[in-house]
A and B are shown apart, each in its own frame.
Chain A
Amino acid sequence: MSEHVTDWLNAYHDGELRGMGLQRVESHLTACAECRVALEELRALSALLRQTPPEAVFPSAEHFAARLALRLPRHAGLVPARNVWLELGGWLATLGALAVWLFLNITVWVRSAFLLALDAGLLANLPGLQPLPLQMNWVAALTFVWGDQLGLPGQLVLSLLNDVHLFVIRSQGMLFSELLLMLLYLGGLALWWLRQSKSSFSA
């Protein structure tokens, strides 16, 4: 015989078991007299609790409701006015975040396509479409003035600073958009939380 199902008998008795758990308990009960007795005891206990009347007599619902009505505060029970700005703000922040996300993705894809085409030389004949400069003006000026005196380490540092500047220039639009998206998302989340916390009640 399988292991006793004592731990699951309460849940079984209360109709809280489903699926495999229910099948396991039922099949065990058909074979185990000990667990059947334990289940019967649980049933008897529940019956005893439920069928035992209270040791007191309470006023009728009608009487209680009438007495309570006299004690109800006058101004309670008014639904608070909906804060339209709060709700509108929440929706606008959500829609704004969606719009920025769409814009960002489309821009990145179009830009990638153009850069690919530029690198492949497909757009070489189009006026105004030139690849970004690879050397910043201030780096070029420094190299022109002190290039000979900088030596190899100095030129390496200068080249590194140039790359960092290029990276910042190329990615700052993206970073700004990401930041804006994050702020809008967090703003929407904060407004939603504010609405929820206003409407919930824990007594």
Chain B
Amino acid sequence: MTLSSSELEAALIAQAQRGDRQAYGELVRQYYASVVNVAYRLCGDSDQAQDATQEAFLKAWLNLPSFRPGTSLRNWLYRIAVNAALDALRRERKTIEAAPDDLPLTDPANGPECELLQRERVHLVRGALLSLPEASRAVLVLREYGELSYQEIATVLEIPIGTVMSRLNSARAQLKRLLEAQRWSLEMEYV
């Protein structure tokens, strides 16, 4: 008999709760990419994001016995990671640095102009995101990068669903204004 992915995850969680490091390693591998992405979009700094991600997974391990089976591990990890990322931000404010020149953002075959444009866009998006207030940014990041529903965001951030909606509206409106101010034409790029 084969186990479904949710049953497999439940079995891994149960094993990890009993202290099985290998099972926990499996869970870490499964959720690392999404957790580090959310942390990075919140912090805007790769070092801070990696530190916050590591702290989140360590904290999760320590508190895994109190994790309630049947609830979403992903959302629980997001909650810990968001708190860790916001703590990291408050501890250490960093200025936005330019992207390293050797970072492969696009296929070099597309040409230097395309690569330059992509680099500019990446930098612009990161800057615009970081200029949002932390509370709005957390909601927007969980929606766009965490792909959580409004109800899930409300649970993760422990705020009412009405607040999720208003913060999301204001975050997107502000982001749009910022990008427009930078003469960034969304239509031209993505149509």
- Chain A residues with CB under 8 Å of chain B are 7, 10-11, 14, 16, 40-42, 44-50, 52-59, 61-62, 64-65, 67-69, 71-73, 76-80, 198-203
Contacts and interface: CB of A to CB of B under 8 A. Distances in A.
B59 interface: yes
A89 B33 CA distance: 44
A55 B123 contact: yes
Interface in B157-178: 158, 165, 168-169, 172, 175-176
Q: Is the interface of B mostly helix, strand, loop or mixed?
A: helix
A47 B140 CA distance: 13
Interface stretch (B2-10, B21-29, B108-116): B21-29
Nearest to A56: B46
A151 to B, nearest CB: 68
B21 A69 contact: yes
A42 B65 contact: no
B49 interface: yes
Interface residues of B, number: 65
B18 A61 contact: no
A200 B176 contact: no
B93 interface: no
A47 B186 CA distance: 9
A53 B59 contact: no
A78 B19 contact: yes
B29 A77 contact: no
Contacts of A68: 25, 28, 54, 57-58
User: Looking at A40, A62, A64, which has the most chain B CB atoms within 10 Å of its CB?
Assistant: A64
28 contacts: A10-B168, A14-B150, A41-B186, A44-B187, A49-B125, A49-B145, A52-B122, A52-B125, A54-B37, A54-B122, A55-B122, A55-B123, A55-B126, A58-B50, A61-B33, A64-B36, A64-B54, A68-B58, A69-B21, A71-B54, A71-B58, A72-B21, A76-B64, A77-B64, A78-B65, A79-B17, A80-B65, A203-B80
